A and B are shown apart, each in its own frame.
Chain A
Amino acid sequence: MADAQGLPGMDRRTIYEKSCCGRRAYSLPATDVPEVPLDDLVPAGLRRQAPPRLPEMSEVDVVRHFTGLSTLNFGVDSGSYPLGSCTMKYNPRLNETTAQLEGFAGLHPYQPESLAQGAVELMWELGEWLAEIAGLARTTLQPAAGAHGELAGLLIIRAHHLAQGREPKRVIIPDTAHGTNPASVVMAGFTPAPVRSDARGGVDLEHLREVLAGGDIAGLMLTNPNTLGVFDENIVEIARLVHEAGGLLYYDGANSNAVLGISRPGDMGFDIVHFNTHKTFSTPHGGGGPGAGPIVVSAELAAYLPVPLVERAEDGRFFLDYDRPQSIGKMRTFYGNVGVLVRAHTYIRGLGPDGLRRVSETAVLNANYVMESLRGVLDVPYERRCMHEFVASATPLKEHGVRALDVAKRLLDYGVHPPTTYFPLIVDEALMVEPTETESREDLDRMVDVFRRIVQEAHDDPQKLLDAPVTMPVRRLDEAEAARHPVLRQRFPEDEEAGAC
């Protein structure tokens, strides 16, 4: 297990604090054109008065600075990362090789399409494969993230209704939904209408009927399996009810890792699906991004997809089709996070249909294995098999004065990255665990063992959890002060005098 405590005696200053006047790393070609006076090129009034205070360092110092910072991090490469809802699977290095091929990395989006046929073909293929995995018809690769895909899907729902002369306002969202769902709903001009979950963790059908009876239904957003890690067996009925009420169904594909080749959202009745390539299709998280959130829609909705659409002509040529009069428009500049999409394409090409199914089978097996092993150790609110993730509750530990937060901090001391905490909102002191399919049995056993020890510590010596972490480069941080008096950029000595932000 990697030891990310930082290098011994590491210099923890920021790069600005390390900056030293007159040092330089760069080199640039000498000016080989006539040196016309600068005032003749750009008038003084438009020019910079004071230079930006960027660092002045030699190259070796830049490398040491960032190498040092990297030792303060934890990635999938470092160890187990069972963050529920994030699918922290191994990021194959082959993906990096292919994404960096100059034939992809060096393409300018406005270069003639005849010179980018390989890239457009790759996007076409990936779109076809995602459509097959989704069980729907046409794909757009434009959205840059899952939340972005949600907005695109909701705008398509809006366009669909408008085309029929309707403007329904309500989009139904279960109380287990990820925060991006209601936020996206509002940004698309709709109002979220919550629906409750039943005792088994699926959508409460009675309550759904009530909500639908209120009318004005644009659609329903759902993820299946949901954020409790549970497959909603009523999904076909749910789809029927919503369609009957005139609404469309949007599938949040964040949990697709559980059902690849096992069950397809298109077959469940969904009309629009987004995938998170950085979850299901192994593209790296990069410390927070970039990812990609392609969406696939039914044939009836294809007309509304963003421009341009990736197409293949009869003669086998690939092109970007801008002639889409009913399109919702552009969700972003150019065509998509192509560098990320090359990685997803590489992954799917290598695994093939059997490999993808094995991913889901093993992801679900691993999660059940951990859940079963933790029975009696943590409280698991729903008495049924889970899918690729499960939610446990740390509520029983409250009597010892510790909470999910303290369990998470103590896990850090044991070299295990904590699971997601305090989500979904309907489970008290939630710990959402998603091991993924790329963890070995030994790593899973170790994870379970660590949880057991920590729960034992909660009984015997809860202070150990409350003080945790003690082996990290920093102890618990004062987040209240960071929010009360935010310091969001380097304070230079001149700023201190001037009393700046």
Chain B
Amino acid sequence: MPQAATDYVPHSDADMRTMLAVVKATSVEELFADIPEDVRRREPLALPPGLSELEVLDELRRLAAANTPASALVSFLGAGIYDHYVPAIVDTIVGRGEFLTAYTPYQPERSQGVLQSIFEFQTAICELTGMDVSNASMYDGGTALAEASVLAGSHTRRGKVVLSAGVHPEYRQVLVTETAGYGPRPQVVDLQAGAATDLAALARVVGDDTAAVVVQQPNFFGALEDVAAAAQIAHAAGALLVVVADPVSLGLLEAPGRLGADVVIGEAQSLGNAMSFGGPGLGFMAVAKPLMRRIPGRLVGQTVDLEGKRGFVLTLQTREQHIRREKATSNICSNHALNALAALVYLSWLGREGLAELGLLCTRRAAYLRARLLELPGVTAYTEGPVFREFAVRLPLPAAQLVEALVPQGFLAGVPAGRFAGQFAGPAAAGLDDVLLIAVTEKRSRAQLDAFVAAVAAEVDHG
């Protein structure tokens, strides 16, 4: 009988007959006798009929071909998701069926591979951030921020979280949505001109009602913040300091843990994971030791078996939903294990020297591009002061217009900040439609940078 659709059910007709006899049913239909007729679906679902594997692939290729991915263009898109080179061994490892198709390691004796890799991932995050304890990963940077806010609220028993507007606007939106019914209320402090946090304004609103102060380093516009000063403001008021960090920067920039952070969170997609239209990403959270029992998400710990041999297990599970239920630190059930594995393989490939060299390369190229762009007539700095690999400039024309004009030449010029206008106020918010956020990774060669400058120059002359 022809098999015109994909089918992963092994049973032959003979198998079905044998098995029905064992369960004492004459047809499969009898197995659903408990379902009342008025909720029993009789017509087939209105879905397109199944296809053979090669036809499915054709269909998906058609859909994929209707996209022009940023990875295939000279892209300067950043804003939380970055086009870094993913070395070939990442896919080799992550594609192995023993990692890809394994479940959560609830039977540790049979899952030492997953458990040890998570332990190594937790270690890597602690090393990058300078913190004591990391969880096994979370969904993304935005939900990690929401979780950090809840943690701060329950630890300090205070009802407000103060955030710099330099924290990614989408993270701030997620925080507002997810804590609508639970956890501290967010309050945002505007950025000053030049795109850094207004520390004086921050100090004015932080008080004994503040559970946490949140800053991002580098911030959304690429400005480098004075994290140590933010830590002092927070701690003086008895609040926690939460830092949203960019893991790729942490080979070059100081670890937030050494600057006074109590919680470090962020998005680690840029460590060995494809951009994939924004998901799945890799949220992470690391905390100082006193907060260990409040951290949400899975934790892997080291222990010994009854012969004294080292092994790894999920631990401190009493924080989690499957035990504490309504008193859990969070409802989070899963982690992004496969993305975390990719990040670990990536960091193992880069190593301590590679990460530092990568950071340096990106910083140098970004600085070069920034300097050349600022020489163009009408282009001025939006982000002032030192930056890592991302910065914003103010153009003499709408940023979205420039982006559109450069697409046919093979460039994705950057992210127009105007799309986030609703999330900014104060001195930094004026004329955001003319502001372009530009990220430079190791994939952008000097030749590409020079060609880009020429293309922008041409546009700026017209516009």
Contact = CB atoms under 8 A, between A and B. Distances in A.
A240 to B, nearest CB: 12
A366 B11 CA distance: 10
A453 interface: no
A488 B134 CA distance: 8
Contacts of B150: 187
Interface hub of B140, B299, B303, B354 (most chain A Cβ within 10 A) = B303
Interface in A239-268: 259-264, 267-268
B107 interface: yes
A426 to B, nearest CB: 13
Contact of B69 (A70, A105, A441): A105
Interface string A328-356: 11111111111110100111111111111
A16 B140 contact: no
Given A147-B331, A286-B341, 4 more contacts: A92-B6, A122-B60, A334-B170, A355-B6
A102 B251 contact: no
B35 A231 contact: yes
Contact of B45 (A81, A106, A112, A261): A261
A52 B250 contact: yes
Contact of A70 (B6, B98, B120, B368): B98
B157 interface: no
Interface in A1-29: 2, 4, 12, 14-16, 23-26, 28-29
Nearest to B34: A231
B89 A63 contact: yes
18 contacts: A14-B116, A26-B353, A46-B224, A52-B352, A70-B98, A108-B277, A116-B68, A154-B181, A186-B326, A188-B180, A233-B36, A286-B99, A288-B104, A289-B335, A290-B339, A332-B279, A350-B50, A477-B109
Given A29-B442, A104-B276, A408-B107, A65 B50 contact: no
A483 B6 contact: no
B301 A16 contact: no
B200 interface: no
Interface stretch (A177-185, A391-399, A457-465): A177-185
A496 interface: no
Given A289-B335, A475-B109, A148 B5 contact: no
A285 interface: yes
B251 A52 contact: yes
A287 B337 contact: yes
B57 interface: yes
Nearest to A111: B70
Contacts of B98: 2, 4, 70-71, 73-75, 77-78
Contact of A486 (B60, B315, B404): B315
Interface string B111-144: 1111011111011101110001110110111110
A369 B100 contact: no
A356 B47 contact: yes
Q: Classify chain A: how many residues form its interface, as a range.
A: 35 or more
Interface string B281-306: 10000000100100000111111111
Q: Classify chain B: how many residues form its interface, as a range.
A: 35 or more
Interface string A422-446: 0100000000000001111100000
Interface string A147-187: 11011001100100000000000000000001110111111
Contact of A263 (B39, B104, B255): B39
A46 B386 contact: yes
Contacts of B250: 48, 52
Contact of A54 (B91, B118, B351): B351
Interface in B1-21: 5-11, 15-16, 18-20
A246 B203 CA distance: 46
Nearest to A200: B34
Contacts of A155: 177-178, 180-181
B316 interface: yes
Contacts of B87: 25-26
B39 A268 contact: yes
A344 B44 CA distance: 19
A313 interface: no
Interface in A446-501: 469, 472-479, 481-483, 486-490, 500-501
A158 B178 CA distance: 12
Interface string A97-120: 111111111111111100111110
B445 interface: yes
A291 interface: yes
B393 interface: no
A215 interface: no
Interface in B152-206: 168, 170-171, 173-174, 176-178, 180-182
A233 B35 contact: yes
A319 interface: no
B407 interface: yes
Given A29-B445, A67-B96, A364-B32, A475 B306 contact: yes
A262 B126 CA distance: 49
A483 B5 CA distance: 49
Interface hub of B102, B117, B388 (most chain A Cβ within 10 A) = B102
Contact of B122 (A47, A55, A285, A488): A488
B19 to A, nearest CB: 5
A483 B275 contact: no
B67 interface: yes
Contacts of A335: 277-279
B321 interface: yes
B332 A147 contact: yes
A267 B141 CA distance: 37
A486 B290 CA distance: 12
Interface in B91-107: 91-93, 95-105, 107
Interface stretch (B72-80, B232-240, B424-432): B72-80
Interface string A41-70: 111001111011111110100110111111
Given A33-B446, A488-B301, A54 B35 contact: no
Interface stretch (A82-90, A204-212, A295-303): A82-90
Given A350-B6, A365-B20, A290 B338 contact: yes
Contacts of B31: 361, 364-365, 368, 385
B22 A186 contact: no
Nearest to A19: B351
B408 to A, nearest CB: 11
B315 A110 contact: no
Given A107-B277, A438-B10, A439-B10, A75 B40 contact: no
A24 to B, nearest CB: 6
Interface hub of A4, A262, A440, A482 (most chain B Cβ within 10 A) = A482
A57 B351 contact: yes
Contacts of B415: 110
B349 A358 contact: no
A410 B79 CA distance: 50
